[in-house]
Amino acid sequence: MLKSLFNWKVLVNLVVAIGVFVGLVWLTFRWLEYHTNHGQEIPVPNVVNKSVHDAVKILDDTGLEYEVDSANYDPKYRPFQVLQIYPAPGSRVKDGRTVRLKVNPRTWAQIAVPDVINKYSGLAFQRLDQVGLKIGDTIYEPSIQKDALLRILYKGNAVNPGARLPRFSIIDVVVGSGPMRNISIPNVVGLSVKEARAVITKSMFEVGLVEHEDGGKDESDIIYYQDPASGDVRDQGMQIDLWASKKTPGELRAKVEQLNSIYRMKVDTSLPPVRYEEVHNEPSYETPVAPPPTPRRETPKVEAPKTETPKPQSATPKPASTGTDKPKASTSTPATGNAAKPAASTTTQQPAQKPKAKKVVVE
């Protein structure tokens, strides 16, 4: 076994195999150096804050590939200005390496206008603010849809839902202020149905029932009757019913009279007109009469009986009269109709009787 291993033929084959392997490895590395430009590196140029057009031209001259990626719009920088480059400026890369540029876009990213037409203005404003649209002027327009958003305007032009606008764009909105009152109804008799629709819409009314005489729906039929009549006043948004035919209104006089008997109120002109006279009545003021006094119920007062205490007589005797004494005047007086007052009695006077209570009748 060992003799066969050290045979010169075996050794030659082994040497040849090793040589072939080493040669293949050397050729592989040489091919890789050639293919990858080993040792040939290019510094990445600094193109930050340059416009994207200038940056692309510089990268083409240096033999580097590039990719442009737009970042979120930043109003502090110019549109299409290079904000960042990867790999960083000054890095050494191989020839043909792809360099990524981050560029400031021209404006904000576009967004779709939400469908808020005929919606309540409060909810519509909130929805527009959520998607990034700013409300500019609010224009109020007469409409039966009070406080509803009627139209969206961008730079004076109406914008439909779904249209794409730059984010944070300023838009104007038209909001309904409620219906107008007492608008005169236009006269559309003699016009075609199509023309009548335009006139009614322009006058801020709506087309109601359209009855064609032949039962068709030809918009070229002539209007021969309308309700309400022209000249009447109605609120905005009221419906106007139309009767149309291919004949002229003069040819349908009997039909018109029949409709008048149904839709027009008849006024009797045979009665004399009612005259209204204005009467000025001065206000009269009446003196208020006091109500009769309510009789008060009197309570009789009871007087307490008075008792008299007799005076004691003096025990001292009076002196006898002398000749010089003057005669006493007579105490007798002629009768004058009044009884003389009796002299005081020496006996004890009887007590006064208790007075009777007065009887008071209350009516």
Q: What is the mean pLDDT of residues 319-334?
A: 43
Residue 13 or residue 141, greater confidence: 141
Distance of alpha carbon 351 from alpha carbon 286, whole angstroms = 62
Return the percentage of the chain with pLDDT > 90, whole number.
26
User: How far is Cα 91 from Cα 85, in angstroms, rounded to an integer?
Assistant: 11
Using the structure block, give the residue that is written with the tokens 């005076």: 311
Pair 265, 259: CB distance under 8 Å = no
Rounded to whole angstroms, how far apart are CA atoms 7 and 18?
Answer: 17
Longest dimension (CA), the chain: 227
DSSP-assigned beta bridge partners for residue 274 = none
What pLDDT, on a 0 to 100 scale, did the predictor assign at position 200? 93
DSSP 330: P
The pLDDT mean for the chain works out to 77
Looking at residues 305-330, what average pLDDT do you find?
A: 46
pLDDT in tens, 197-248: 999 998 889 999 999 988 888 899 999 999 999 889 888 888 999 999 988 8
From residue 120, give the alpha-carbon distance in Å to each of 89, 149, 213: 54, 6, 41
Distances (CA, A) of 92 to 87, 135, 162: 9, 50, 48
pLDDT above 50: residue 9: yes
pTM score of the predicted model: 0.46
pLDDT at 213: 86
Left (φ > 0), alpha (ψ -120 to 50) or beta: where does 251 sit? alpha
Residue 230 near residue 199 (C-beta atoms within 8 A):
no
Mean pLDDT of 50-70: 87
- Predicted confidence (pLDDT) at residue 304 exceeds the cutoff of 80: no
Query: CB–CB of 204/142 below 8 Å?
Result: yes
Q: What band does 338 get if pLDDT is binned at 50, 70 and 90?
A: very low
Whether the pLDDT of residue 312 is over 90: the answer is: no
Indicate if the pLDDT at residue 127 is higher than 70: yes
Q: What is the mean pLDDT of residues 177-187?
A: 89
| Averaged pLDDT for residues 137-154 | 92
Confidence class for position 34, pLDDT limits 50, 70, 90: low
E strands, the chain, in order = 41-43, 65-70, 82-86, 92-94, 98-103, 110-112, 134-141, 149-154, 157-158, 164-166, 170-176, 183-184, 206-212, 222-227, 233-234, 239-245
Q: What is the DSSP annotation of 245-288?
A: ESS-GGGGHHHHHHHHHHHS-----SSPPPP------PPP-PPP
Q: Which 3 state secondary structure label does DSSP give 149?
A: strand
